[in-house]
Amino acid sequence: MGIAYEEGQVAQPLSINGRSIVILYGSETGNSEEIALELGKMSERLHFRTVVDEMDSFKLTDLLRFSMAIFVTSTTGQGDMPKNTTKFWRNLRREKLNNTNCLGNLNFSIFGLGNSSYQKFNWAARKLRVRLLQLGASEFFKAGEGDERHNDGIDSIYLPWQQELRASLLTNYPLPDSVTPIPDDIQLPPRYTLRLATSIRPGGETEEGDKQDILGNQPEESTDNTRGLPPADMISIPSTYLATLSENVRATPQGHWQDVRELALEVRFPLNLIPRYAAGSCVTVYPKNYPEDVQSLIELMGWQDVADKPLTGHEPESAEHDHAGETRPRGLYLKENGTSTTLRDLLTHNLDITSVPRRHFIKELVFFTKDPREKERLKELTSPGNEQDLYDYTSRPRRTIIEMLRDFPCVRIPFNWALNLIPTIRGRDFSICNGGASLEGKGGELTLHVEVLAALVEFQTIIRKPRQGLCSRYLKHLLPGTTLRVGIKPADKFLSPENSQHKRPLIAIATGTGIAPIHALIEDRARFSRTGPVFLFYGCRSKDADFYFGNDWARHPNVRVVPAFSRDPFDLADVISAEPNCLKSAGGLGLPEPTYDYDVNKNYVQHHIRKHAKEVGELMRQHPIVCICGNAGKMPASVRAALCDALVLSNVVVTREEAEKFMADPKNLSMWQEVW
């Protein structure tokens, strides 16, 4: 007879000898982490001793302490591993591990998150899987590969894969006859807990918190900052630097549909710690929530009495279900002055309260409302087969966590559960758009002058209030002179002018603000007296509205710019030429149709690549660097198709199949793609 569970119960998974699983994730934006947390909940309900953590927190020897391991990773950059996996991946690739069968006792499975518009689709998951197998690990369940470009997104592959994984675990690792899985309608214990730093004993005596005060040392007087801009105080974020905003101006006309900002930062570095810079590097900005949103959530949840009191955190009651010593989420950082942190501080600096609610968040809300209609609706949103309903309610209108909680007024999340439900704020990366001599900071040799071209995320949905991205809203109102913390993320090595890379030809295709890293690369190459030719195809809407850096190109005599102004009047003959080297007259070459339905009679960069096939082909013969930057929609695939057509039309290869192979061979060219 199985265990009887009751509604309202918080059920602790049983400790069963030899039944353990570790779920390690590699994530840049939080999607892989979200899936890892979901898989962790599923494993706990099957009574596995479960640990969920980022890969870099684990050593190879740690893996062998578990019955199984599940890896969840996205792919970043040019087929690279995410930042929080680099140490783990470096250890895994050590040459001395070859032929050792050191992971012979490890059973694993893997799920990858990717975007099929990239040439190296799900590359990180694939190469991680290959390396694990090389070191002797056994795959206990088939790998899954999610695609963001799918009509239903990652869930179209992930949800069926998860259900099959659960069935496989129950079949191959059955529970004892007296034990049953914990049902989905029974709550699991929190992974992290918060409490007030002081409490009152029954006799009225004040008791200091007897657990580790992970959120600070000295209480600080709270300030009632419920209006206006985010507070100026900062939190201590590893591997970041102090920066001063020196410029924040709008780059597009007031009447233009999009607000694009030119930002300039003076980044200060400790002595001898200036990072190596190469074109293609990013600056990471850490936004804050606005006081009005913080106060709104506090009032919705009834947290007024605890919002400004110092907090402490402690480990879960059963530490075996958590990673050793882990008392707060990854990415949650403390205030710099060492004072105690309050709930208001966490909501301002750390918790992404205006993000779109994810499935994990909605599932947990069921346990925090007593209204039967709300429970029913919340369960509907997360039920298998209702993915479209969930998407239409959350992602399509970009509904926020705060707005969802207004829609479910009976939900009351206890403040000590906040860290378990609300995701942490992640830094936003922006491509640095300047290079060369312009990087010299105004504060001397220990500063870096960084310029950014930031398109603010502002749009309208079916919700009356206009949508704004968290970082967009933060940057829009940031005043010159403001001090903030930023990170510097290095670029791919082959973009660096070192090792004579600047002598190679550059074929660059950019749309919109995707011109930023291209502009930086061109400025960086300009430091040298002899550089390879640059052929830039640049697509934007209008010459007078968003032709960024339009006045700069004349300063670079070896740069040829072919613009494509998609919304300005144009002569179709200027786009689709009647010359023999154009696809229009290439009927006998066996090439596919030159355009997709969406770009017929339009003025896009892919049309100009075909029109200039001869020049593109000449550069392709010289081992060029090819950069594609901009929107991740249909542009990357369309540009790659046009480049393949140009190879055929210029007689570099004979067939489209040969062109595809040519493009994929690093001996012929170096491909760098950055799309979003």
- The answer to whether residue 3 sits within a structural domain is no
Whether 154 and 168 share a structural domain: yes
Whether 315 and 261 share a structural domain: no
- The answer to whether residue 561 sits within a structural domain is yes
The total of other beta-carbon atoms located within 10 Å of residue 410's CB is 12
> In which element (H, E) is residue 71 found?
strand 68-74
Whether 448 and 547 share a structural domain: no
Whether 392 and 465 share a structural domain: no
Token pair of 14 as six digits: 């049983």
Maximum Cα interatomic distance, the chain, rounded to a whole number of Å: 95
Say what the pLDDT of residue 115 is: 85
The Cα–Cα gap between 148 and 29 comes to 13
Domain boundary among 439, 471, 489: 489
**Bridge partners (DSSP) listed for residue 487:** 284
- The answer to whether residue 327 sits within a structural domain is yes
Residue 199 three-state SS: strand
Contacts of 221 (CB under 8 A, 6+ apart): none
The Cα–Cα gap between 463 and 471 comes to 20
Whether 433 and 567 share a structural domain: no
> In which element (H, E) is residue 643 found?
helix 635-649
- The answer to whether residue 328 sits within a structural domain is yes
The Cα–Cα gap between 78 and 675 comes to 11
Whether 25 and 124 share a structural domain: yes
- The answer to whether residue 203 sits within a structural domain is no
What pTM, to 2 d.p., does this model score? 0.87
Half-sphere exposure of 151 (CA within 13 A, CB side): 1
Contacts of 215 (CB under 8 A, 6+ apart): 197, 310, 311, 312, 313, 328, 334, 340, 341, 346
Whether 456 and 591 share a structural domain: no
Domain boundary among 376, 396, 421: 421
Task: Give the total number of structural domains in the chain.
Answer: 4
- The answer to whether residue 215 sits within a structural domain is no
Alpha helices per DSSP H over 337-477: 343-349, 359-365, 372-382, 387-393, 401-407, 418-421, 470-476
Token pair of 528 as six digits: 């040298």
Whether 405 and 362 share a structural domain: yes
- The answer to whether residue 1 sits within a structural domain is no
Whether 400 and 446 share a structural domain: no
CATH number at 410 reads 1.20.990.10
Contacts of 400 (CB under 8 A, 6+ apart): 353, 354, 355, 356, 357
Domain boundary among 379, 400, 421: 421
Q: What is the pLDDT of residues 34-82, one digit of tens each?
A: 999 999 999 999 999 999 999 999 988 899 999 999 999 999 877 889 9
Angle subtended by helix axes 635-649 and 613-620, to nearest 10: 80
Whether 527 and 662 share a structural domain: yes
- Residue 180's closest CA among 369, 4, 400? 4
- The answer to whether residue 541 sits within a structural domain is yes
Token pair of 29 as six digits: 């934006």
Tell me the residue range of the domain where 630 lies: 495-675
Half-sphere exposure of 193 (CA within 13 A, CB side): 15
Q: Which residues of the chain have pLDDT under 50?
A: 200-214, 217-226, 314-325, 578-595
**SS3 sequence, 108-177?**
EEEEEEECCCCCCCCHHHHHHHHHHHHCCCEECCCCEEEECCCCCCCHHHHHHHHHHHHHHHHHHCCCCC
Whether 155 and 24 share a structural domain: yes
Q: Sign of torsion, CA 135 139 142 143?
A: negative
> In which element (H, E) is residue 74 found?
strand 68-74
Token pair of 213 as six digits: 């005060």
Q: Sign of torsion, CA 289 290 291 293?
A: negative
**Under a CB-based contact definition with an 8 Å cutoff, are residues 143 and 176 in contact?**
no
CATH number at 599 reads 3.40.50.80
Say what the pLDDT of residue 644 is: 96
Say what the pLDDT of residue 499 is: 65
**Under a CB-based contact definition with an 8 Å cutoff, are residues 295 and 226 in contact?**
yes
Residue 101 three-state SS: coil
Residue 432 three-state SS: strand
Whether 664 and 541 share a structural domain: yes
DSSP string, 449-508: EEEEEEE--EE--SSSSPEE-HHHHHHHTPPTT-EEEEEEE---GGGSSGGGGGGS-EEE
Query: What values do phi and psi take at 674, rounded to 5?
Result: -135, 100
